[in-house]
Structure 1
Amino acid sequence: MFSFPLRTATLALAAGLALGALSSPVLAHGFKAGSIEIGHPWSRATPPGARTGAGYFVLTNTGSADDKLVSASSPAAEKVEVHEMSIQDGIMNMRRVDELTIPAGGTASLSPGGYHLMLMGLKAPFKEGQMIPVTLTFEKGGPVEVELQVDKMGATGPAHGAGEAGEEGHAH
């Protein structure tokens, strides 16, 4: 007799939990700041004695106005900056970027060989499996703390992203 109302209540509870998860700041190792979604932040393990590390992720702007990543910080490093790497005339160049625009309805990718976070003055090496806290600050979305999941040394992509290809070329 109570199976229908109980089932209906269970479905309603499940739907409510699912909607709550969608509005949560943490989504399957994704994060949100205002209209900016930060998808699977990751890094690579660093060798002992390394003074720098990098951070990678995809920024998706679900809003109707541009936003900008204006700063970053981490207790794991003395300084965090956004850098752009490029190759011109066969020479690799890296330069600091004061801000990174995420266009309305668009994305900005921080990945090896392009834009990335540069964590300088590491306080300890990054070890595979570790989570590195980083605070990203957006012009409109404000600050949000994310965690870089440390993958193995030399990784070319996130190893554990929801629907993202890892270095083996398949989704995990």
Structure 2
Amino acid sequence: MQKSFLAAPLLAALALFGSAVAHAEVTVAEPWVRATVPAQKATGAFMRLKSDTDARLVSAASPVAGVVEIHEMLMDKDVMKMNRIPGLDLPAGKDVELEPGGYHVMLMDLKAQVKEGDQVPVTLTVENKDGSRQTIELTAPARPLNAPMKMQHGKH
């Protein structure tokens, strides 16, 4: 009988410990990469991210590119500019769109042409509130160069 009294507090302590080190659960929806023409050295990767807790996208990588950065597009005196940013906040429970004309992952110094239909591996690094990091491996299909700027959810 005494064993059951010890087991309950031990299980409760393990549950608390487990939740203290849990990572944010980040889901990735509709990832895609824009196809390129033969000599093109850069393209973008786009997707929708959602985290169950506050987190931050801090980096990305892909074997198809020598350099991968997180970028934003913004208007500055009637001129659209693209800037590298150190990270992108993922507020708990909110969709964060990475899309043409907005936030995106920039794949630069491409090692080969990205052709329509290619499957492009991308690794995202997310930093949790406690400073711990996790990686998310995904494969993004390459869509045509003339893919629309803004995709409708559920439609391609």
> Could you say which TM-score interval applies, normalised by the shorter chain?
0.7 to 0.9
Larger radius of gyration: 2
Aligned partner (choices 49, 56, 67) of residue 59 of structure 1: 49
- The residue aligned with 1:92 is 80
On the 8 A contact 1:40/1:158 being kept in 2, the answer is no
- The residue aligned with 2:140 is 148
CA distance in 1, matches of 2:83, 2:76: 13
| Length, aligned pairs only | 130
- The residue aligned with 1:104 is 92
On the 8 A contact 1:67/1:103 being kept in 2, the answer is yes
Aligned partner (choices 109, 117, 142) of residue 129 of structure 1: 117
| Structure 2 spans left out of the alignment, 5+ residues | 1-22
Q: Aligned-pair RMSD on alpha carbons?
A: 1.9
| Structure 1 spans left out of the alignment, 5+ residues | 1-32, 167-172
Please give the TM-score of this superposition, normalised by the length of structure 1: 0.70
On the 8 A contact 2:68/2:106 being kept in 1, the answer is yes
CA distance in 1, matches of 2:136, 2:126: 8
* 4+ residue segments displaced more than 4 Å: none
Helix, strand or coil for the counterpart of 1:113?
A: coil
Please give the TM-score of this superposition, normalised by the length of structure 2: 0.77
CA distance in 2, matches of 1:59, 1:139: 14
